[in-house]
Chains A and B, each alone.
Chain A
Amino acid sequence: MAQAMFRIWRGDARGGGFQDFTVQISDGMVVLDVVHQIQAEQANDLAVRWNCKAGKCGSCSAEINGHPKLMCMTRLSSLPLDRPVTVEPMRTFPLVRDLVTDVSWNYEVKKRIKPFQPRTPDAADGTWRMDQRDVDRVQEFRKCIECFLCQDVCHVLREHQLHREYIGPRFYVHTAALEMHPLDVANRLADLRGPGGLGYCNITKCCTKVCPEGIKITDNAIIPLKERVVDEFYDPVRRLFRIFRPKPQPPPAKGAPEAEPEPTRTAASSSAPR
């Protein structure tokens, strides 16, 4: 059996450093197997999050040799093993311990996005009719496993730490899923442009590159959302139209009244904060 060297980040908010472990490896192993082996044999208290070990739950996100990845889907055969493999926690989020970070911010962000609001049912029995083609488009976004790797890699969060004014690629995907949902009648464009901070995204596509679900975050979610925002707020014809007929009325339901857009940032500008 072959050996490999793993250099794993250990520590908590007060500080820490890399610790080296020599491990036995076998056919088909993934990084999470190595972490588990170390946990069982060398460091019982090595902290790691995981659930499914099948790339389905999005718990085991980490940075492997500097690349944001799911540990359970990263095979050792895809890594150069002639030098130590580094495994460290996602850097964009505050550290809890070892490989575990505090991702609670993401859960708070979601609560601020207007919930799904369906149109009245199409059939007398309270059901709807939808075309598979319309469903397909949104199903791409609904594949998201909330691994937050895209949030980890996005420079607006990672370098500029704009957690208060920017919701990040995961939540553009979420918003796109709602906005393009065949049944949804709510309007989230003003929120995207304002508190959602869509203008900060300068389409670097780093998020798309790391998404383990292969969601085309930039092309299929962010760019269409940007276009919608432009249409909604900067197209003079649309604007006139809006004055006379202010958006199809959502059924009276939960949710706050629509906020007037604040003209602070321009959605069309793609300048990122420096």
Chain B
Amino acid sequence: MAGYETHTYDVLVVGAGGAGLRAAIAAAAQGARVGLVCKSLLGKAHTVMAEGGAAAALGNVDDRDNWRVHFADTMRGGAYLNNWRMAELHAQEAPARVRELEAWGALFDRTPDGRILQRNFGGHRYPRLAHVGDRTGLEMIRTLQDHSVYEPKISVHMETTLITLLRSGNRVVGGFGYEREKGGFLLFRAKAVVLATGGIGRAFQITSNSWEYTGDGLGLAYRAGAELMDMEFVQFHPTGMIWPPSVRGLLVTEGVRGEGGILKNSEGRRFMFDNIPPLYQSHTADNPEEGWRYTQGDKNARRPPELLTRDHVARMIMREVKAGRGSPHGGVYLDIAWIKEKLPNAAAHIQRKLPSMYHQFKQLADVDITEQPMEIGPTMHYMMGGIKVDAESQMSTVPGLFAAGECAAGLHGANRLGGNSLSDLLVFGNRAGEYAARYAAAAPPLEAADADMKAQADQAAQEALAPFSRSRGEGPFQVQQALQELMQNNAGIVRTQAELETARAGIAELRRRAEHVAVDGNRGYNPGWHTALDLRNLLIVAEAVATAAVQRQESRGAHFRDDFPAKDDGQGLYNSIVARGAGGAMEFRRQPLRPMPAELQQIIEEMK
């Protein structure tokens, strides 16, 4: 198209993490020509950081496991707000998706009889996470990357950022963005678009997420008219590093607790035994000895309370800190070194099972985890909410626009179980790619939409370049930092009406400031400019989080209200929806849960 470098595809996949790569492979398998764009280099997306594993009921370690148990665990973890059809498909299809990775070259850790080994993780009844030490995400992304590079139907545009979706009527017909190196604009014509852009961590100050997580997919979809769902449910992982300050937020994998790590307060007390929620009492050990046996694979033992769901563990840690029983830098202690009381070669065992954690602490904090406890505290980790999608096809509420992975909502309900994300990427990445390709095959030709695309691209280009023309204005990093602080303090782990209102007012103010940011330099590889462009999406997701959180006047899953500390099934059984109203303002509504079919209901009853 005149003026912009233009590419035409059947399916445009935005994001090259696990979900995007899997979607691209699936779409190409359907015969579609696929364009794959990502903000970083290939293989660097967030998925690379995942540590613990991918949950799939293979039943290799405990043959009592099957999709039904996985389904029930996922629903219980999500406090029953999950899209049950997604939870069902996920539990059923995850094993095949994981095995397929092995056929593509992935090398998971093995059981003694040579099959894929599975490990314990919070909220999963049986050992279920296929893993590779504590670098499962790297194995997964490299396998998908190395598989896709040989696929001639996939063209990759690395270091390219989409800034807007292009529409014709109510359909999505492509996207418009810029490449980092020179800052040139690119126009993608595509019959279908799959968003796989990951999460929103950069809306918070303390997070395990990288710079890429500015909620782009959510912002793009919202601006294109799609509905966002369950935005109040933001997961705080209980164990992030807290010292030294430069690594604050960096994740300490749940695998540490899965291997026997325990939480202690400054008095040396193992406080997790103090408060076990009724819903989990029958599955949880009531003494340390039983908990230890569970981590060592004793099938008759129940799991230690350290492996309860993340929201609960995070709040228990906050409680200890608030009560003055925290560690020097405002966290608590996570101790794996203690297992030397139980195992002869404990130090070597820890280094083999948790190699990245060993190095992370050694190199960044001068702590030897085989000898000393780690100081940890909660860190913003995962977004359960996101783009509302159809369970089977992953299509959003806008025709031609699909979403998969962390940027989509539904599977995890009010709280995600560890390990359910990597399997989510595979199952729903695959589905999104397949259905997007099918949709593209039946979609009308793009020529009729070219005039619309050009007009929208011109406008987007003009808006994107505006920060260069402002001679005097605030820097973009200052606005981003102010937003992170605002959200951390007012929409974090424990929330109140007053704080959430403060957040909302603050966001409105920051939006005004964002309109006046100025950037130095030129368009070539300019992080200041990129940050200025990201602000728009960050502000949309922040507003959506605060809006949905104000409305939910109860505590459920990851959403905890100090002013409404109890779960309230009378008014809480709904999914919250936000979308852009006709006048441009954000609108909120409650969507009642769809009734669950009797057979799924029965599974849940049986597994209680």
8 Å CB interface, B1-55 against A = 40-46, 48-49
- Given A54-B360, A59-B44, A116-B146 in contact, is the A181-B105 Cβ separation under 8 Å? yes
By beta carbon, the residue of chain B nearest A99 is B525
- State whether B44 touches A45 (Cβ < 8 A): no
CB-CB under 8 A from A115, the residues of chain B are 146-147, 150
Q: Is the CB of A28 within 8 A of B245?
A: yes
> What 0/1 readout, one digit per residue, does chain A (59-99) give for beta carbons within 8 Å of chain B?
10000000000000101000000000000000000001110
Chain A residues closer than 8 Å to B132, beta-carbon distance: 139, 142
- B528 on the interface (CB 8 Å rule)? yes
In chain A, positions 213-231 with a C-beta closer than 8 Å to chain B are none
- Asked if B49 and A54 sit within 8 Å, CB to CB, the answer is yes
User: With the chains together, A184 CA to B106 CA distance in Å?
Assistant: 11
Q: Is B247 an interface residue when CB atoms closer than 8 A count as contact?
A: yes
Residues of B within 8 Å of A49, CB to CB, are 40-41
Is B149's CB within 8 Å of the partner chain A?
A: yes
Task: Please name 17 pairs of A and B residues whose Cβ atoms are closer than 8 Å in the assembled complex, sorted by A.
Answer: A27-B244, A28-B245, A28-B364, A28-B365, A33-B246, A44-B526, A51-B45, A51-B46, A52-B44, A52-B48, A53-B250, A57-B43, A96-B524, A127-B99, A129-B113, A135-B110, A145-B138
Does residue B527 face the partner (Cβ distance < 8 Å to A)? yes
Do B528 and A142 touch (CB < 8 A)? no
Docked pose: A48 CA to B105 CA in angstroms: 32
Provide the bound-state CA to CA distance between A258 and B484, in Å. 56
- Evaluate contact between A47 and B527: CB separation under 8 angstroms: yes
Max chain A C-beta neighbours (<10 A), residue from B103, B113, B475: B103
Question: Which chain B residues (124-174) contact chain A, with CB distance < 8 Å?
Answer: 132-133, 135, 137-139, 142, 146-147, 149-150, 158
Least CB distance, B75 to chain A, in whole angstroms: 27
Segment among A103-111, A200-208, A234-242 that sits at the interface with chain B:
A103-111
**How many residues of chain B have a CB within 8 Å of chain A?**
65
Nearest B residue to A35 via CB reads B527
Q: When chains A and B are docked, how far (Å) is the Cα of A33 from the Cα of B526?
A: 18
Measured CB to CB, the closest approach of chain A to B522, in angstroms, equals 8
Q: A100-B525, A178-B105, A184-B105 given. 4 additional CB < 8 A pairs?
A: A27-B244, A40-B477, A55-B360, A139-B133
CB distance from B99 to the nearest CB of A (A): 6
- The 5 A-B residue pairs whose C-beta atoms are closest, nearest first, are A28-B244, A44-B528, A45-B521, A129-B114, A116-B105
Q: Do A107 and B102 touch (CB < 8 A)?
A: no
Question: B108 to nearest A CB, angstroms?
Answer: 8
Rounded to whole angstroms, the CA-CA distance of A131 and B109 in the bound complex is 9
Q: Which residues of A in the span 175-192 have a Cβ within 8 Å of any Cβ on B? A: 178, 181-184
User: Do B40 and A51 touch (CB < 8 A)?
Assistant: yes
A129 touching B115 in the complex, CB below 8 Å, given contacts A44-B521, A44-B527, A52-B48 = yes
Q: B80 contacts which chain A residues (CB < 8 A)? A: none
CB distance from A253 to the nearest CB of B (A): 11
Q: Which residues of B contact A126 (CB under 8 A)?
A: 99, 103
Whether A57 lies near B244 (C-beta < 8 A) is no
Contacts of B244 in A (CB 8 A): 26-29
**Docked pose: A121 CA to B137 CA in angstroms:** 24
On whether the beta carbons of B525 and A51 are closer than 8 Å, the reply is no
Q: How far apart are B322's CB and chain A's nearest CB, in angstroms?
A: 25
Q: Decide yes or no whether B104 CB sits under 8 A from chain A.
A: yes
Closest residue of chain A to B142 (Cβ to Cβ) is A142
CB of B520 within 8 A of CB of A43, answer yes
Q: How far is the CB of A139 from chain B (nearest CB, A)?
A: 6
Q: Which residue of A lies closest to B135 (CB)?
A: A143
Chain B 453-482, CB within 8 Å of chain A: the 1/0 string? Answer: 000000000000000000000011110010
Contact with B along A13-36 (1 / 0, CB 8 A): 000000000000011111001000
- CB of A59 within 8 A of CB of B41, answer yes
A12 smallest CB distance to B (angstroms): 7
Complex Cα spacing A131 to B107, Å: 11
Q: Which residue of A lies closest to B58 (CB)?
A: A127
Interface residues of B in 195-223 (CB under 8 A from A): 210-212
Q: Is the CB of B146 within 8 A of A52?
A: no
Could you say which of B45, B102, B478, B528 contacts A127, with CB atoms under 8 Å apart? B102
Shortest C-beta distance, B355 to chain A (Å), equals 8
CB-defined contacts of B528 to chain A, threshold 8 Å: 39, 44-45
Given the interface contacts A45-B528, A75-B364, does A39 sit within 8 Å of B477 by beta carbon?
yes
B519 at the interface (CB under 8 A from A): yes
Residues of B within 8 A of A184 (CB): 105
Determine the chain A residues whose CB is within 8 A of the CB of B524 once the complex forms: 12, 47, 96-97
Judge if A233 is at the interface, Cβ distance under 8 Å: no
Q: In whole angstroms, how far apart are the Cα atoms of A126 and B365 in the complex?
A: 45
Decide if B475 touches A44 in the complex (CB within 8 Å): yes
Residues 213-254 (chain B) with a chain A CB within 8 angstroms:
243-247, 250-251
CA distance in complex: A49, B530 (Å)? 12
Residues of A within 8 A of B133 (CB): 139
Q: How far is the CB of B524 from chain A (nearest CB, A)?
A: 5
- B 497-531 to A, binary, CB cutoff 8 A, 1 in contact else 0: 00000000000000000000001111011111100
Distance of A42 Cα from B522 Cα, bound (Å) = 16
Contacts of B526 in A (CB 8 A): 44-45, 47
B95 to chain A, nearest CB (A): 10
Q: Of A58, A110, A111, which is within 8 A of B44 by CB? A: A58
CB-based nearest B residue for A113? B146
Contacts of A104 in B (CB 8 A): 158
Between A12, A30, A44, A126, the greatest number of chain B beta carbons within 10 A of the residue's beta carbon is seen for: A44
* Contact residue among B246, B251, B522 (Cβ-Cβ distance under 8 Å from A29): B246
Give A101 Cβ to nearest chain B Cβ, in Å: 11
For B46, list chain A residues within 8 Å (CB). 51-52
Cα separation A28 to B147 with both chains bound (whole Å): 39
Which residue in chain B gives the minimum CB-CB distance to A13?
A: B524
Cβ-defined contact, B364 with A30, below 8 A? yes
CA distance A26 to B248 in the complex (A): 13
Whether, in the assembled complex, A56 has its beta carbon less than 8 Å from a beta carbon of chain B, the answer is: yes
